[in-house]
Amino acid sequence: MHSLSRDYFVNGILIPLLEKRVMMRMIYFDNAATTEADKDVRLAMTEVMVNHFGNASSLHAMGISSKKLLDNAKEQIVQLLNCNSGDVLFTSGATESNNAAIFNVSMRATVGKRRILVSPIEHPSVLETVSMYEKRGLFEVEMLAVRSDGLLDMEDFKAKVNKNILAVFVMAVNNETGVIQPICEISDICKENDIYFHCDFVQGLGKIEFSEALFDSASFSAHKVYGPKGIGALYIKNVSQFYPLIVGGGQQRGLRSGTEAIELVVGFGLACKQLKTNQERYYEHATDLKRALERGISEMPFINLNAEYNTIPHINNIYIEGVRSDVLALLFQQQGIAISQGSACSSNNEKNVSYVLSAMGFSEQRIRSSFRVSFGKGNTSSDVEYMCKLFRDIHNKYGIKGR
């Protein structure tokens, strides 16, 4: 983590240079919130900003050079996703991708067919958007049930499906629990009933296989896979029936207007290329870290995982009895470990209690003592062992008082 300025802000608080040194040694266990951009990605982006600043729509040599970079990056994403039939658009991130997919669906809504099924554990960029369209009278939203293990309740889903359902919005992997949702089964049911299926694939990219056959559209974000922030992608199966959310200068074949940010696009493309080469190795590494975590907590009866099965090893939602997660996060921070109380996105909501864990049926007290540890390629087993040692120390010292 490097900073160009002497001082900088975190959560609105000025962190002076001295504390910045502490942060530079931090063990970063918040990779589901964002990852550190890969060094090669940063270098490539800098090179583009310095030497390839042309507008990809310009017809002179610099424009043509930018267009080539754009096409190359797109190819890198297409290769990672292994998609042949649909198209992939660059967006400003998965928030926009989800908004664009939902807008596209809203344009297909008719009086007889405007009911949509949504899982209540979707990212706010899905939940807030469908709720906005519902308030405008464009959608009728029906929430799906989630089981206590974090999986969508498929019996409930099947009972709610009928020919009048316009669309289903279910994510591939939950960002708070790491639970992999039954997307193959959902896709089959959607196909049988002529239902549009949009999948937020942000936390699944590079962790579970992406199969374009399953979806009508899917969202991705670069900063979760060692790429830059501010760029994402939207996979669309049927381009000819796509209604663009952002219109204007006609870039990206009119499907998403706006001058392409070539440095971000190049960074995202390179991150995808590296992911394609390394995804199995990264997965094994995360599995090793998860094993170290399980070993570490195996003799701590005061610690439990909130979701144990069908999860990716990268995301672990943990309950520590008797210690509030805000206290824990602060104590960890003092010891040089960054963890998250839930998702970075729900930290903006008023109650600041995870709606994902609520949907799984956990008590408010348990949720307030739960936190997320998310692994990335930069973590080591000894980082995990150190964290486990702190679990015990903190529980011994603050277990009762922490409440």
Identify which range of 20-28, 89-97, 135-143, 182-190 contacts ligand PMP by CB under 6 A: 89-97
**DSSP per residue, 348-395:** GSSS---HHHHHTT--HHHHHTEEEEE--TT--HHHHHHHHHHHHHHH
User: In terms of Cα–Cα distance, which of 306, 310, 292, 301 is closest to 371?
Assistant: 306
Query: Among residues 125 and 181, whose Cβ is nearest to ligand PMP?
Result: 125
Assess 300 for contact with ligand PMP (CB under 6 A): no
Query: Among residues 182 and 322, whose Cβ is nearest to ligand PMP?
Result: 182
**Please, is 308 exposed, middle or buried when counting C-beta atoms within 10 Å of its C-beta (0-12, 13-18, 19+)?**
middle
Assess 86 for contact with ligand PMP (CB under 6 A): no
Residue number with the smallest Cβ distance to ligand PMP: 93
CA dist 390 and 150 (Å) reads: 27
Residue found under tokens 């009728």 = 140
Assess 316 for contact with ligand PMP (CB under 6 A): no
Assess 94 for contact with ligand PMP (CB under 6 A): yes
Residue found under tokens 């209540």 = 120
For residue 272, the minimal CB distance to ligand PMP (Å) is 14
DSSP code, position 196: E
The bridge status of strand 315-320 relative to strand 337-338 is unpaired
345 is a catalytic site residue? yes
Start-end of H helices in 227-261: none
| Residues 248-287 interacting with ligand PMP (rule: CB under 6 A) | none
User: In terms of Cα–Cα distance, which of 173, 223, 156, 167 is closest to 193?
Assistant: 167
Assess 202 for contact with ligand PMP (CB under 6 A): yes
Identify which range of 10-18, 200-208, 299-307, 388-396 contacts ligand PMP by CB under 6 A: 200-208
Assess 227 for contact with ligand PMP (CB under 6 A): no
Query: Among residues 83 and 199, whose Cβ is nearest to ligand PMP?
Result: 199
**Of these, 141, 143, 345, 390, which contacts ligand PMP (CB under 6 A)?**
345
Quote the Cα angle for 245-248-249, to 5°. Answer: 130
Instruction: Tell me which H or E stretch contains 225.
Output: none
**Of these, 45, 102, 171, 307, which contacts ligand PMP (CB under 6 A)?**
171
For residue 258, the minimal CB distance to ligand PMP (Å) is 15
Tokens representing residue 198 in the block: 């949009």
- Name the catalytic one among 184, 272, 345, 388: 345
CA dist 334 and 14 (Å) reads: 16
The site for ligand PMP, by CB under 6 A, has a size of: 13
Tokens representing residue 53 in the block: 């600043």
Identify which range of 197-205, 246-254, 284-292, 331-339 contacts ligand PMP by CB under 6 A: 197-205
Active centre residues (catalytic)? 345
Residues found near ligand PMP in the complex (CB under 6 A): 93-95, 123, 125, 171, 175, 200, 202-203, 221, 232, 345
